[in-house]
Chain A
Amino acid sequence: MTRYVMVIDQRRCIGCHSCTVACRTWNELPLDIVYNPVVTEGVKGTWPNVHRSWLPTLCMHCEKPACVPCCPTGASHQDEDGVVWIDYDKCMACLACVNACPYGMRDQSKLQPRLHQFVRKCTFCRDHRAADPGAEPYCVATCHQKARIFGDLDDPNSEVSKLIGSVETVRLMEDLGTGPQIYYIPELGGKA
């Protein structure tokens, strides 16, 4: 089996937003849509004892996604490899999934005509990887810092498996029980 996940190494992230721009450029996103915003946390503390880190986000591709069962048309669904995606032909932009997602990672573009609206979100670059099997998601490939690592958690030799098995990782809002598949290696303070 294949289970795609992403590890985000917050120790390495410097908040340059390259992932955000690469994603929107190559996925041809309208201006009001961002799949993977990078959130600046801080500056925390009081000068000069300050600290700052960044939280790159994206769809969590949950094990039990709240956004899939609520979809009335079957547009929102999940592949066997864990990737959650939307069949735009079936989507009627009812926004049920947008409301259901606890991470706020889905939205529709208001820049398109009402009748052509549909909900979008990160697909781990599903189409791009299908066209080019060697490719990684755009946000991963473009990262100078190698802060985003993508791979198959079911493959014990993959980099993500090795990282998750060896370094402490956290997942966002794990208590909700959706089983998010984005694993964060947290910043440890001023230096890691």
Chain B
Amino acid sequence: MTEIDIHADDVKMVKSLCYFCHANCGVLAYVKDGDVIKIEGDPDYSNQGGLCCRGTSALLHLNHPARVNHVLKRVGEKGEGKWEQVDYDQAIQEVADRLNQIKAESGAEAVASAGGTTRTDDWARRRFLNQFGTPNGFHNALLCWIPTFMAETCVAGWSPFETDLGAARCLILWGMNPGASTLGGMHGYWDLHNAGMKMIVVDPRYSETASKADLWLPLRPGSDAALALAMLNVIIYEGLVDYDFVGQWCSGFDELSEHVAQYTPEWAAPITWLEPEQIRTAARMYATNTPGCIQWGCTWDQIGRASTTGSHAIALMRALTGNLDVPGGDGMPGPALNFLTDEEMELNELLPEEQRAKQISRFKLTSWPGYSLISDTAKRTWGKTLPTEWFCEAHGPSVFKAILTGDPYPVRALICNATNPVNSYGDAKMTLEALKKCEFLVVVDYWMTPTALFADYVFPAAGALERPTIVTHYGATDSLMGGSRAIQPKFDRHTDMVFWRKLGLACGQDPANWPWETEEEAYYHIMEPLGLPISCYDDFVSMIRMYYPPLHQKKFEANGGFWTPSGKVELNSTIMQELGFPGMPEYVGCIENEIDTPELCEEYPVVLTTGGGFMPYHHSEHFQMQGIRYLYPDPYFSINPALAEKLGIEYGDWCWIETRRGRIKMRANVDNETHPNVVFAPRGWWFPERDGSADLSNPFGCLESNVNVLTSVDEEDCDPMGGSWANRGLMCKVYKCGDFDAEFTAEDAQFSIPGNASEPGIHAKPSERPLAREPRPFTKPEPEIEVPEGYEWVWQNNTLYQKGTNFRLDESGWLVNPRTKGYHDAYTGWRYDAAGEYLVDDETGKIYTMEREEIPFLGGVRGYPGVEAAPFEMPEHLRWNVEAGYAMLPDRQLVYDPNSGWMIDPETGAYHDAYYGYKYDAATQQLVDENTGTRYTMTYEPVVE
């Protein structure tokens, strides 16, 4: 053991950010001779010096012997594991040529790209895809925040996701366990809880966080929508509503009251397994301790067909209690108005309308149809909008099915960057088959994952300490935080943006569209409009690190309304209606449950919930690292002792967990942390220590303990609005592995489409399968007023907006810029300058009269040609030149500047005094008579040499 001296002269400290989960904790990296020798938590960042197991392991990750360090090109059969090491740029060109060939043969849409949870921005991927011409980029976004965000934006104009806990009196952690997922936040919750903030935890499992709560609601997994609707009912019918807020800022309260009358706590009790009184207590605690926050939890987006119904109801709870964008409530940051948004970096305008229409998704809220409505509203109200990356994506499982079925059209190439879809997307058996069958598979990753095993090319990715990280909450907030890279990427590893840029240029994309060679250059471009005293991105990190805009709360008051089409918080959402969805949340149960599918529960009697986070892993990561794997070497599921006893299961026994769709093996953790009829199975498991090629039906054991074998991506099981697939509240059976039934076999790995089919194979065209809820017909009203060319009419507020700029046509006939609230001339677009009472063309800087005549300037002084008398006071001895519009000295070509009181020489810009025309000499602060050379003081006394 040698102690590392971080104070030595040759050791440099770099402020970096952790990259192993979304919390992005601050990290101080100590660098010596171009290598990181030590890291520690940044005490001046939100994590207050803390680092979890994953963060502490960053150096193990950086230097792990199993990392992919060079481009690997497949030379054997797919999955055989035979590779040739090739030059990075050569490989990029080969991939580009193949992608261009596929595009020429089958159209750009035959190329898709899968992502995982990139823990920073990802606009470079979309910038590539838009230029390439394919709409089929996607992430696991539909399981993580995006459907919730879109539903919340339909209600209030932006997601109220930035909790202001310092001033909050109540916090609901709903389907979220920061005690095992984002530790950086947990200490804050705990401190505030100790200071008196009520903490309600909604979680079917007695989680780390639940152990610290004031009130814990152990609901049946997947019944969140029923709980939220019943809490809404209590808030309304017990009169716990913030009537002032609702009266002034919301629309549709009476309709909503009528609508939720049916969802009483007594109605919800058998669905949620909670007592009506528990639901009432929770609703009262939340609604009477205002301001308060509801922290978004992943669960909301993982319940399948009931997902967005639940998050929609929760969005209404915040509105009715007046917790939107107020101090101590749920802040609605809006897009970054003061620096460039991710959307402004994506080049979305380059993706033609006909290509947008080809996006593979039947779920309108989170693809082009819904995005367009939401985004147009955002541009009309905020002046900027959400990125298409994350918020407007293809439906991942449908793309995998398209690879296998050719429905709706064949997808021939897939680029997986930062994802191992077998473990992270639903229906793992089908997904694995799609990766095997994919004609051309390119993977960018740290490791040889089960996905990478089937790739034609594997590109090495730069990791945490090798890349700068920027935090703008995926382009959805107005603040910005940053971390620097500690070192340049090792070996042939490259950062994501560099990969996409190189690939784009090799595909023949315009170099002018890829001006930045490094992330740092791009990030500096993003923050340049802030006008900070910095000359590069790393300056920002070392000197400023965090930027917050000045006005951060109650922006709806300054704005004069919320950022919805009607300007109100829409308790009955018009955008939802326009998309064919109910405008108010209508209950639907999770895909398998005792009430809706009793016959299924006879064979599969136990409720299964999957997808929760657990230390020390994150998604399907970190199983390679012995230094933390020893904490949790095998997959364990939690089972209640009563159920375990009934099933003859003891602690540590290997057991099968089986749903209609397949079965997996895990070891039993017999513990009272779950309900006697619930089992909890963690996500992500695979076994990188095995030889992947040894068993291609289950490479690296990627199926045998993978909960996604059990989840469903069938069309009718997905959320009909947002497309989330079903991870929670599934029905299963659990039994011990028998002596002759202990191995996961090739038979267990057989896939089917739909996944719920009893026989393997493809039985249906995905595009012809029914959805959980058929679209509800909606007819947009006809315009009540004449719509001039170049304008669009918004039916909700009966207002015209100019196409292109999205400026509102005011009653006065002027256009109003939503971002600046400035007025613009409707014919020319020129901005009205109230101080100068003239129009400004911001593009050219030229200035015009209100009659749109260009205003001349001489030496920076405005002229008034044709005006009979000077429109300002001027010294008496000056002469008003009507033709030129200037006040002048009788015999000199100098113009009088009424602002400074000096005469200006238009040729040189030099200042002259207004009485004699003597030139001002700034060096001596004297006046000079240019005819005689005589110098005068400022009071006209001759200067004696």
Contacts and interface: CB of A to CB of B under 8 A. Distances in A.
A144 B183 contact: yes
Contact of B47 (A31, A43, A53, A144): A144
Contact of A18 (B40, B51, B206, B674): B51
Chain A CB within 10 Å, residue with most, of B5, B51, B209? B51
Given A20-B631, A28-B1, A142-B50, A50 B41 contact: no
B53 to A, nearest CB: 4
Contact of A48 (B3, B212, B218): B218
Interface string A1-38: 00000000000101111101110111110010000000
B51 A22 contact: yes
Most buried by B among A25, A130, A145, A146: A25
B800 to A, nearest CB: 52
B53 A14 contact: no
B627 A25 contact: yes
A116 interface: no
A89 interface: no
A43 B631 contact: no
Contact of A146 (B48, B179, B671): B48
Interface string B237-276: 0000000000000000000000000000000000000000
A46 interface: yes
Contacts of A156: none
**Majority SS of interface residues in chain B?**
loop
Nearest to A38: B631
A31 B629 CA distance: 10
Interface in A127-157: 127-128, 130-132, 141-146
Contacts of B615: 15-17
How large, as a class, is the contact surface on chain A?
35 or more
Contacts of A16: 52-53, 179-180, 183, 208, 615
Contact of B672 (A14, A43, A132): A43
Interface string A177-192: 0000000000000111
Contact of A21 (B7, B212, B631): B631
A52 interface: yes
A178 to B, nearest CB: 27
B179 A14 contact: yes
Residue among B49, B56, B194, B615 with the highest chain A CB neighbour number at 10 A: B56
A164 to B, nearest CB: 19
B925 to A, nearest CB: 54
Q: On chain B, which size bracket covers the interface?
A: 35 or more
Given A21-B616, A52-B211, A141 B183 contact: no
B41 A141 contact: yes
A27 B676 CA distance: 42
B190 interface: yes
Given A16-B179, A24-B627, A145 B187 contact: yes
Interface in B26-47: 38, 40-41, 47
Interface of B: 1, 3-7, 38, 40-41, 47-53, 56-57, 59-60, 179-180, 183-184, 186-187, 190, 194, 206, 208-209, 211-214, 216, 218, 615-616, 626-628, 630-631, 640, 642, 671-676
Interface of A: 12, 14-18, 20-22, 24-28, 31, 42-48, 50-53, 127-128, 130-132, 141-146, 190-192
Given A142-B41, A191-B212, 14 more contacts: A16-B179, A16-B180, A17-B615, A22-B51, A27-B1, A44-B672, A48-B206, A48-B218, A131-B3, A132-B5, A141-B41, A142-B40, A145-B187, A146-B48
17 contacts: A14-B183, A17-B631, A18-B51, A21-B53, A22-B51, A22-B56, A25-B59, A25-B627, A26-B38, A28-B1, A31-B627, A47-B218, A131-B4, A141-B40, A141-B41, A144-B48, A145-B186
Q: Which 9 pairs of residues, A with B, have the shortest CB-CB distance?
A: A144-B50, A131-B3, A21-B53, A14-B179, A144-B183, A43-B672, A14-B208, A18-B52, A22-B56
